[in-house]
A and B are shown apart, each in its own frame.
Chain A
Amino acid sequence: MAYSTVGVIFSNVHDENIPELSRHRTMASIPFGGRYRLIDFPLSNMVNSGITTVGIVTKNNYQSLIDHLGSGKDWDLARKDGGIILLPPYSDETDAPYTSRLEALKGITGFLNHRKEDYVVISDCDGVARIDIADIVRSHVANQADITMAYTVTDEVESSYYITLDPDETGRVQGVQINPKLNGKANMYINVMVLNREFLIDLIGNAVTRGLTSFGKDILSKSTDTLRIFGYKFDGYYAGIDSLQNYFRHSMELLKKDVRTELFANRDIYTKVRDSAPSKYIDGAKVKDSLISDGCTIEGTVENSILFRGVKVGKGSVVKNSIIMQDTVIENAVELNCVVTDKNVVIRDRRHLSGCEELPYFVSKGRMI
C-alpha cells in the first residue's frame, strides 16, 4: 500500500462482555459464522488492505488463539519480514500483566519502535465487518490527522464500556464521550483507530511519564482541542459482538443474503484451514435456511441455524434457531431451539433443550448432556 501501515490487534479487550464464550479463550478466538473466529475479520481486513505485519496483543487464555493462527500462512502472513507477531504480556517494573489499553500499548513500544511503517492501525476483535483499512489510512493522511477513529451510526450497545464521537462537518472530532447516555443513534466508535507510528510512540511515552492510565478517559476525551482527532464513518454492515445475546442475533443475520453478500461475496475472509471433508446430507435430512460448514453429517432436521465444522445431527433430531459449534455431536431424536453449544458438546438421545432469542440456552465447551 502507498502509505505503509503496520497492524496491531488487541485479542483480549472486551473478553468480559461474553464470559460464556471467552472463559477458555480470547475474544479473538471466539468462533463465528460457521468456520471463522472473530479475529479473522480484522486480520483479513488488514491483509486485504496490503498490510503484511500484524502484532497481536495477548494477555491470557491465548492457547486457542495460537493454535488458530499457526504460522499465519492461512492469512498469507507467514513472512520473513513481519507477518504475524504475537505480543504476549510484558512487564518490567511490576510483575502484573497490563490492566489497561495504555499499559498494553506501553508493553508493545519495543515492537512499534522496531517497525519502519509510517502508520499504525489498531483494532479490537469485537466487530464483524468488512472494512477497507487502506481507505481509513488515506483519509487519515488527507486530514493530516493525529488520530483517526472509525465509527458507525447506531443506537445498539450492550457493552459496559463504549465511546461516542462528535465529528464536525470536516470530520474533525470535537468531543469524545465515554459511556454517555444514549438518546437514539450516536456515532459509536468501533475500536479501529489509525495513528502515525512515531506519534503513537510519543503519545504513549508522554502518557506514561504523566502517570495516565486510561487511553480513552485520559487521552482521547481530553485531547480534542490539542490533537487533530478525526472520525471515519463506516457505512457498511457492522456487527458489534458485545454480549451473548448480540452474538446470537448477529450470527443469525448471516442467514440474510445481503449480509452474507457484503461479508463474503469477495471470498476474502481468511481463516484456518482444517482439511475437513465436504458436508454430507444423508437421506432423511431436512435443511432449511441454514449455514452448514464442512465436515458435517446431517441425518435430521436443521432450520434457521448455523452449524460449524464437523457437527453431526442424528436421525429424527430437530435443530432450530441454534448455533452449533465445532465437532458437536447431536444424537438421535434430540430437539434444540435457540441453543448455543460451544465446541465438542455431546447431546445424547432424546434430550430437549430450549432457550429464547433474548436468552439462548448455552452449553459450555466439552459438556455432555
Chain B
Amino acid sequence: MKIHEHQAKEILAKYGVPVPKGIVAYSVDEAVKAAEELGGGVVVKAQIHAGGRGKGGGVKLAANPQETREKAEKILGMTLVTHQTGPEGRLVQRLLIEEQMPIDKEFYAGIVLDRAIGKLVFMASSEGGMDIEEVAAHTPEKILKEVIEPGMGLQAYQARNLAFGMGIPVGSINAAVQTMQALAKAYEAIDASLAEINPLLLTKDGRIIALDAKIAIDDNALFRHKDLAALRDLSEEDPLEVEASKYGLNYIKLDGTVACMVNGAGLAMATMDIVQYAGGSPANFLDVGGGANEEQIRNAFRILLSDANVKAIFINIFGGILRCDTLANGVVKAARELDVKVPIVVRMEGTNVDLGKQILRESGLNFGLADGMKDGAEKVVALAK
C-alpha cells in the first residue's frame, strides 16, 4: 500500500528523521493559510502516489502567501502526468506546503528487501535527487549498501560506513547516522515494503533533512497496523481495483480488450501472456483465487464488464480446489443476471471438468468452449477483433 509524501514524513518524523516544517492543504485557502503560518518562502508540492512530480509541474516555489495562492490554484485540481502515472495522469487533490530549505548537497537513502538473501538492505548514494534505478544502471559503484540483520536494525558503524562513504562532511556525520538509523527503525516498526528518502539533504548550515520521502507498506502486515491502514487513499487507486478488493479478488486494470478471469496468480499472468502471444491485448489481470464461490465469480464478472474497452472475455480455470462445476454454475448465473453482451470463451480443466462443460453447454447461452489454453486464447482474440 502506497501512502502520500506528507504521511510518510509524519511517520518518519515520529521515529526521529528530521523533515522540513510542513502543512497539508486540501484547498487554495488552506494552502495560503499554511504559507502564512510557516512564514517566508515555501514549496507547494502536489501530493499524488507517483514520482516525477517536479518535472511534471507539480512542485513550485513560492516566495510569499500571494505567490502561494497563485501556485496552489495552478496545481490543485490539475491532472499531473509523470513517467509513473501513465498518460492519463493523476488528479491533484491535496498539497503539501513546506518551508524552503537552504540546499547545499543532495544524497540518497533507501531500504529494500533483497530477496536473494532474505534481508533488508540499506542503500545510500552521493547521487541524490535522481532516480536510483538510473544510478544503479549507469554508475552502480556510487550506490553503497549495508545488510541489516533481521531484528538487529541498522548498526551505528554501518550508518557511519555509509555516511563517510557518500561524502557527508565530518561535522554532519552524527546527524546523518542518526537519520539513517531512524529510517531503518521506522521501516521495521511500520512493516514497510519500501522506504526512500530522495533527496536526503545537507543544508548550508550542516543539517541533514529528508526533503522528499516515499513509503509503501506491506499489505500482508496491515492486519497489525490499523492506524496505517487508515492512511489508504482510495482516490489514488483505480476504482475497479478498489471494488475488486472488497470481494477478495485480485484485479489489476490494463488497457487491452480481452478480459481475463483466471484462478491462481501465475496462471493469470500466463493467461495475459498467451492472449498477447495470440495477437490480442489483455484488459486486466484477475485472480479469483483457489476457493472462489458463485458470489465472487458474479462480482468478478461485473467488474470485468464495467471496463468499457472489453470486447471479449476469456475464462481460464484449472480446477483444483475450485471445482469446474462450481465455476460453471457461477458463470451461467452471472451471464444471465448481468445480460452479458460480449462473447465469452471458457477453457476449463481439472476437477469435475466434464460436469462443468455440461452445465455450460446446457445453459443455452452462447459460450465458446476451448480445448486448451492456446485454443482458448486464439478463439477469444479472434472474437475481440
A-B complex is real? no
- Using a CB–CB cutoff of 8 Å, the interface residues on chain B facing chain A are none
